[in-house]
Amino acid sequence: MWGANCDSWSEWQKHTSRHGFVTPSSILASRPALVQFPLHLSSDKRLQTLERMIYIACAMLNQQRFYIENFGCQMNVHDSEMLAALLQSHEWVQVSDYHEADVIILNTCSVREKAEQKVFSRFGVLKDQKVERPHVRFILAGCMAKAWGIKLLRRLPYLDLIIGPGMLAKIPEYLQYPSRRYPVVDTNEPESVFSLAPEMIANPQHHSAWVTIMEGCDNFCSYCVVPYVRGRERSRDGHEIAAEIVNLTRRGVREITLLGQNVNSYAGLPGGFPALLRKIHEIDGLMRIRFTTSHPKDMSDELVQTISELPKLCEYLHFPVQSGSTSILRKMRRGYTRDNYLNRIDTIRRLIPDVALSSDFIVGFPGESEQDHQDSVSLIESVGYDNIFIFNYCVRSGTRAADYPDDVPLQVKTKRLEDLLQRQRRIVMARNQEKIGMIVEVLVDGPAKRGVSLWTGRTRQNRVVNFSGTAAEGVLCSVLIESASPNCLYGRIV
Ligand code: SAM
Ligand code: SF4
Ligand code: F3S
């Protein structure tokens, strides 16, 4: 079997021909290696061939195939990874083409209307599968399931299962039974901190991994649906987190990103988040530690000090402000003023001088005046972020802000969004140009998507660098920066 005895495509062919046949199990067992192996075929063609082989192998072994598509934040992406691993541990086989799947799962997001619209229009395409292959089952999982519940059946009557983010671990159980023999809707609260056990990801495919340290959110920002769909804040035991990371490093992971809606209020270890960072920092084999998201109201001096003292902690902080106007921040119930936020930035910059900062902004929140918008503009100019994510405000039913009139017209929201983006582009371009001539530490992600024989990786400040030279995935190298674009730096290994 590939992986056990063979380390190349031709070896594998020789091995299978020696045994006179290719068994379905040998195809399925060798799948990860086949996907990665650089055959002369294009990667699309390789995947097509592989999907075909898997399809035939599954049919011969009578094995069921699933397909997952993800919408939403990193926590959702990570949930999908864990769900895929869970289904695989129940002998299900993952496919990357929904035409070949027996079960199609969409893991959904409710944070903005657009995210929900994407899911509805995706089902517009997928629903034909029910006509062409009536045995196919549809699962709508995640935050939209929790937000909408049974009402989804009005718009998507062909769904077989609607399952909330806390109940994902029950999917294999429900799938044991024929369609309609299990509850159509399960949006209960999870019984434990995590419904999915992270250690199920037995073979991380990459040197970089996510680790969830907490679930839910207690902040109830007035615009946000997350506390309603993900439940109240729950921290995972610190020893369990450390054990998971030790396991990941043994399997080749070099960089981890700790995930939570507000990691600064982590409470799964005496001493909170700073104590967790210190504990994780001691793990051998780990090169870089990142985390997201930091809520400004909970960014203590002790935490900033801890980050500045631990060398594996990367100098990158996602520090969402949402607005530069104190009166809007108050209506958003963010728990800090513009001045509090800027004070935090001063402390961070004083203790971590080369830190890169990113932020989220919402434009057109109810009652946002031109002056409030100018406050956001001046905040962007004065902080000088390395990256920002900007969203048009969108009413979410059930939130406190849904009671305010959504009184900023769409054209004004869009104009303000474009205004912030333009200013940010100029800042980033100037910032990237400053890097020309510098030597930076890059953790290599793999071959670059564009550019023959170029590699791609990230600096400690999370900037993407494409570069030439001899490298390998998962190693640190020094790169001399030779040019810059708004999204990327270019250089060569020195
Ligand atoms: N917990 C993180 C925090 O506090 O910054 C972010 C969570 S949320 C999943 C990601 C971003 O979506 C938020 O920072 C906010 O900018 C944006 N967002 C949330 N609700 C929104 C809404 N109703 N309309 C527009 N943007 C929204
Ligand atoms: Fe939403 Fe606020 Fe919680 Fe972030 S901190 S998830 S914006 S309620
Ligand atoms: Fe994430 Fe969207 Fe849910 S942002 S927590 S997937 S509502």
CA 427–ligand 3 middle distance (angstroms): 29
Mutate to test the pocket of ligand 1, among 109, 217, 224 (most ligand atoms within 8 A of CB): 224
CA distance 91 to 63: 7
CA of 224 to the centre of ligand 1 (A): 6
Name which of 48-57, 113-122, 169-178, 397-406 the model is least confident about: 48-57
Give 228 Cα–ligand 2 centroid separation in angstroms. 10
Q: What atom of ligand 3 comes closest to residue 71's alpha carbon?
A: 6
pLDDT of residue 121: 97
pLDDT of residue 479: 97
Please state the rounded mean pLDDT for residues 280-291.
97
Pick from 24-28, 235-239, 426-430: least confident:
24-28
pLDDT of residue 487: 87
Which of 71, 118, 143, 218 to probe ligand 3 with, by most ligand atoms within 8 A of CB? 143
DSSP state letter for 293: -
Q: Which amino acid is at 137?
A: R
User: Ligand 1 center to residue 73 CA distance, Å?
Assistant: 10
218-232 pLDDT per residue, tens: 999 999 999 999 999
Q: How close is the Cα of 296 to the center of ligand 3, in Å?
A: 20
Which residues are bridge partners to 483 per DSSP?
490
pLDDT tens figures, 341-395: 999 999 999 999 999 999 999 999 999 999 999 999 999 999 999 999 999 999 9
**pLDDT the model gives residue 55:** 64
Indicate which ligand has the atom closest to the C-alpha of 401.
1
Confirm or reject: Cβ of 362 under 6 Å from ligand 1. yes
- Prediction pTM value: 0.87
Of 261, 85, 252, which Cα lies nearest the Cα of 168?
A: 85
125 by Cβ neighbours in 10 Å (0-12 / 13-18 / 19+) ranks as exposed
pLDDT at 470: 87
Segment among 212-216, 322-326, 400-404 with least mean pLDDT: 212-216
Q: Is 143 in the pocket of ligand 1 (CB under 6 A)?
A: no
CA distance 32 to 304: 40
Between 41 and 391, whose confidence is greater? 391
Residue with the smallest CA separation from ligand 1 atom 7 is: 261
Q: Which atom of ligand 1 is nearest to the CA of 261?
A: 1
The atom of ligand 1 lying closest to the CA of 217 is 1
Q: Which atom of ligand 2 is nearest to the CA of 261?
A: 6
More confidently predicted of 319 and 170: 319
Provide the token pair at 313.
């902690």
Confidence bin at 183 (pLDDT 50/70/90): low
Q: Which residues of 68-102 are buried (b: 16+ CB within 10 A; e: fewer)?
A: bebbbbebbebbbbbbbbbbbeeebbbbeebebbb
Nearest protein CA to atom 1 of ligand 2, as residue: 224
Report whether pLDDT(440) > 50.
yes
User: Under a CB-based contact definition with an 8 Å cutoff, are residues 467 and 439 in contact?
Assistant: no
Residues 199-216, mean pLDDT to the nearest whole number: 78
Return d(Cα 139, Cα 168) in angstroms, integer.
Answer: 11
Ligand 1 pocket residue status of 76, Cβ below 6 Å: no
Residue 273 confidence (pLDDT): 98
Helix (H) or strand (E) holding 162: strand 161-163
CB 51 within 8 A of CB 35: no
- What CA–CA distance (Å, rounded) separates 347 from 363? 27
- State in Å: Cα 185 to ligand 1 middle: 26
> What SS3 class is residue 396?
coil
* Whether pLDDT at 53 is above 90: no
Mean pLDDT of 22-37: 52
- Contacts of 298-302 with CB under 8 Å at 24 or more apart are 298/262, 298/264, 298/265, 299/264, 299/344, 299/348, 300/264, 300/274, 301/347, 302/274
The pLDDT tens digits of the residues spanning 238-262 come to 999 999 999 899 988 999 999 999 9
The reported pLDDT for the residue numbered 460 is 97
- pLDDT tens, position by position, 320-332: 999 999 999 999 9
* Domains of the chain by start residue, with CATH: 1-62 (no CATH), 64-200 (3.40.50.12160), 315-432 (3.30.750.200), 439-493 (2.40.50.140)
Q: Report the residue among 226, 299, 318 best suited for mutation to probe ligand 2: largest number of ligand atoms under 8 A from its CB.
A: 226
In the DSSP assignment, the letter for residue 6 is B
The alpha carbon of 105 and the centre of ligand 2 are apart by a number of angstroms equal to 26
- Residue whose Cα lies nearest atom 5 of ligand 2: it is 219
Looking up tokens 């935090």 gives 344
User: Which residue's C-alpha comes closest to atom 5 of ligand 3?
Assistant: 226
Per-residue pLDDT band for 63 (boundaries 50, 70, 90) equals confident
Please report the atom of ligand 2 found closest to the CA of residue 334.
Answer: 2
Q: How far is the CA of 236 from the centre of ligand 3 (A)?
A: 19
Closest ligand to C-alpha of residue 366 is 1
Please give the pLDDT value at position 478: 97
Enumerate helices (H) and strands (E) in the chain, giving the number of each: 18, 19
Give the distance, in angstroms, between the CA of residue 59 and the centroid of all CA atoms in the same chain: 33
Q: Dmax over Cα atoms in the chain, in whole Å?
A: 76
The sign of the dihedral angle between the CA atoms of 441, 447, 449, 451 is positive
Q: What is the CA(425)–ligand 2 centre distance, in A? A: 26
The pLDDT-based confidence of 450 (bands split at 50, 70, 90) is: confident
> For ligand 3, is residue 379 a contact (CB within 6 Å)?
no
For residue 261, the CA-to-ligand 1 centroid distance in Å is 10
How far, in Å, from the CA of 262 to the mean position of ligand 2? Answer: 8
Is pLDDT at 208 greater than 50 in this prediction? Answer: yes
